[in-house]
Structure 1
Amino acid sequence: MSEEKQPKIRFKGFDDPWEQRKLGEVKTIKDGTHDSPRYVPKGYPLVTSKNLNDSGLNLSDVSYISESDFDSINKRSKVNVGDIIFGMIGTIGNPVLLDESNFAIKNVALLKNDGPIQNHWLIQYLKSDVFNRLTSEKTAGNTQKFIGLNVIRNLIIDTPSIHEQVIIGSFLKLTDSIIAANQSKLEQLKRLKKLLMQKIFNQEWRFKGFTDPWEQRKLGEIFNIIDGDRGHNYPHESNFLESGNVLFLDTGNVKKNGFNFETQKYISDQKDKQLKNGKLNVGDFVLTSRGTLGNVAYYDKSISQKFPEIRINSAMLILRKESSQHLSNLFLESSLRGKIIDNFMRNDHVGSAQPHITKKDFSKVKLNIPQLWMEQDKVGKIFQNIFILIAANQRRLDHLQSLKKYLMQNMFV
């Protein structure tokens, strides 16, 4: 193997060249039935490419076949735990290493768990960009893509020694397990947030010592709702700068978890002076009102220290608390991130041709608020902690997924 085809990342102690092999020489490769058996209400699952995804095998939308059809298909291509299957028609790929086997397959490639190639290594290789590029060159069909069984058998892949396969496969499997655990934790936190939102805001759950009923207020009474400047001085793409004093928000800067400043664009001080509405004050909330609807971010002191001057774009609204309102900002933030936006959008207040949140209609939305500031603060703080945990776990998951992507791009040839 030529030097330039060496993997960029290898474990210490391995420097032998990888060997080129035909996939069909190192694996028994079959495919599922190409017939269309009669489906039945109850029976054995018949797995097709639609049941394969990045997360593995998904049987939530599977069709069922009779026992006789199941036995007939399995004479041709019985699946076992440890085998690999991937889509051959329509969606090519989405390989899955099987941990169950009580189903039959149709139009799906089957790579048996045999030969000199470890399936724990092979499953990672099949998910790599290297293999995706290889198969994309070999697919046929216009309206519906497919890759033939003989084409798969004749694919030439670069393979390391058994020892290196075991180490790579085990390492990437561990990485996948850590990612899956973080995904599970993140989903648990989101479910907890949803439960707390439901129980606390309908006042089914109350903090000890608080029994007074909550009062209902219109958002227009609580906030001064401000549009961004949409006049003739509104900046064009040519006005944006890579750095400067005045950050000009893009819709991507306001996510479900608050502000995100991975991408930034600025306007000049001169352009800033030409604009009227739309500049943030500390304590303002920003709401995305066009395109991506209902994301909320809070402009607090910590963010203002990093970005002292920020303007919203025309697809956002500023919610500026009226000075007469002695309300907890933490409570208001948790309320705005709750069901209030979803309910507003569900009640068809978002326009038709171009969905958007109108300032006039949004000001009429009613919000239930505890009468005592102390209860507001307690509610706000519990949700602030949940928001922080969700954001931290999301960042960790993003970093892990970026690491896995980097490894997959650099550990195979």
Structure 2
Amino acid sequence: INDNLANTEQAILVETVINNHTVPTALGDLVDFIDGDRGKNYPTFDEFTSTGYCLFLNASNVTSTGFNFDNCMFVSEEKDKLMNKGHLSPYDIVLTSRGTLGNVALYDKHIKYENVRINSGMLIIRPKTKRLSPYFIYALLKSSYMKAAIERFKSGSAQPQLPIKDLQKITFEIPESDTVLVALDRQFLAVEESISINNNEIGNLKELSNVLLAELSR
């Protein structure tokens, strides 16, 4: 169901761009890029725990289909406060920029973790203007055009990466009409709400399955 919803969202985006007047706009003009704290306060291996105050995202948490919280690492509140940039705000978008490139996830109201921080292989993406909603930007970043652009701009062989200076250059065709953008926002919101609700139900079922398996093994 979620795959069908995601495909529908992309079909709506493509059809809208084809059938409306658009303006080519660089991604750097649409959003701000925020990287994580890579300084002296970056957590060491022994500072991570299986539970805690702040979810510290790892590569397995940001997938090609959004967030996955099967394997989580946490840091204490004290450690979180020591670090600077890299803490998520509501409706931020996370993009993987090292190793596995271009996976994106939206930190919406359905995410159960109140404190979340990116690791050094990720970027936070925030729309610069309210004219373009996080849902619209999220749809752009999941598009086949974005995937093709990543292939063109990626660098490094041992560990592929997407420098911010290159991401800023990627150009999208943005509908000029505010009416069209509002209509898109409504449609994308409905799609992402359904996907988030389904993902939460999947998570609940996994937890129930683990409980039942534990009971059976006694």
CA–CA separation in structure 2 for the residues paired with 1:222 and 1:189: 25
Match of 2:30 among 222, 231, 238: 222
CA drift at 1:195: 4.2
The change in CA–CA distance for 1:224 and 1:355 in structure 2 (over 3 A counts) is same
Secondary structure of 2:34 counterpart = strand
Instruction: Give runs of aligned pairs for residues 314-333 of structure 1, distance below 5 A.
Output: 314-322=120-128, 324=129, 326-333=131-138
Match of 1:297 among 96, 105, 112: 105
Counterpart of 1:200, as a letter, is T
2:117 aligned with 1:311, yes or no?
yes
CA–CA separation in structure 1 for the residues paired with 2:163 and 2:98: 9
The sequence identity of aligned pairs, in percent, is: 35
**TM-score with structure 1 length normalisation?**
0.44
CA–CA separation in structure 2 for the residues paired with 1:350 and 1:196: 31
Per-residue CA deviations over 1:305-337 (Å, capped at 9, x if unaligned) read x32221100110011222x45222221111111
Gapped regions of structure 2 (runs ≥ 5)? none
The change in CA–CA distance for 1:264 and 1:380 in structure 2 (over 3 A counts) is same
The change in CA–CA distance for 1:245 and 1:330 in structure 2 (over 3 A counts) is same
CA–CA separation in structure 2 for the residues paired with 1:294 and 1:350: 13
The change in CA–CA distance for 1:376 and 1:312 in structure 2 (over 3 A counts) is same
Q: Which has the higher helix share?
A: 2
CA–CA separation in structure 1 for the residues paired with 2:91 and 2:7: 28
Counterpart of 2:122, as a letter, is M
Instruction: Give runs of aligned pairs for residues 33-182 of structure 1, distance below 5 A.
Output: none
Larger radius of gyration: 1
The change in CA–CA distance for 1:188 and 1:313 in structure 2 (over 3 A counts) is closer
CA–CA separation in structure 2 for the residues paired with 1:283 and 1:383: 14
2:79 aligned with 1:271, yes or no?
yes
Contact 2:56 2:117 in 1 (8 A): yes
Contact 1:257 1:387 in 2 (8 A): no
Count of matched residue positions in the alignment of Structure 1 and Structure 2: 208
Match of 1:200 among 12, 16, 28: 16
2:39 aligned with 1:231, yes or no?
yes
Counterpart of 1:315, as a letter, is G
Match of 1:341?
A: 146
Counterpart of 1:321, as a letter, is P
Secondary structure of 1:270 counterpart = helix
Instruction: Give runs of aligned pairs for residues 353-364 of structure 1, distance below 5 A.
Output: 353-364=158-169
The change in CA–CA distance for 1:350 and 1:381 in structure 2 (over 3 A counts) is farther
Gapped regions of structure 1 (runs ≥ 5)? 1-184, 205-210
Instruction: Return the structure number with greater relative CO, CA threshold 8 A, min gap 6.
Output: 2
CA–CA separation in structure 2 for the residues paired with 1:379 and 1:308: 28
Instruction: Give runs of aligned pairs for residues 330-409 of structure 1, distance below 5 A.
Output: 330-387=135-192, 392=198
Counterpart of 1:319, as a letter, is I
The change in CA–CA distance for 1:373 and 1:245 in structure 2 (over 3 A counts) is farther
2:63 aligned with 1:255, yes or no?
yes
Secondary structure of 2:100 counterpart = coil
CA drift at 1:200: 3.4
CA–CA separation in structure 2 for the residues paired with 1:272 and 1:266: 10
Contact 1:288 1:294 in 2 (8 A): yes
Query: What is the alpha-carbon root mean square deviation over aligned residues?
Result: 3.1
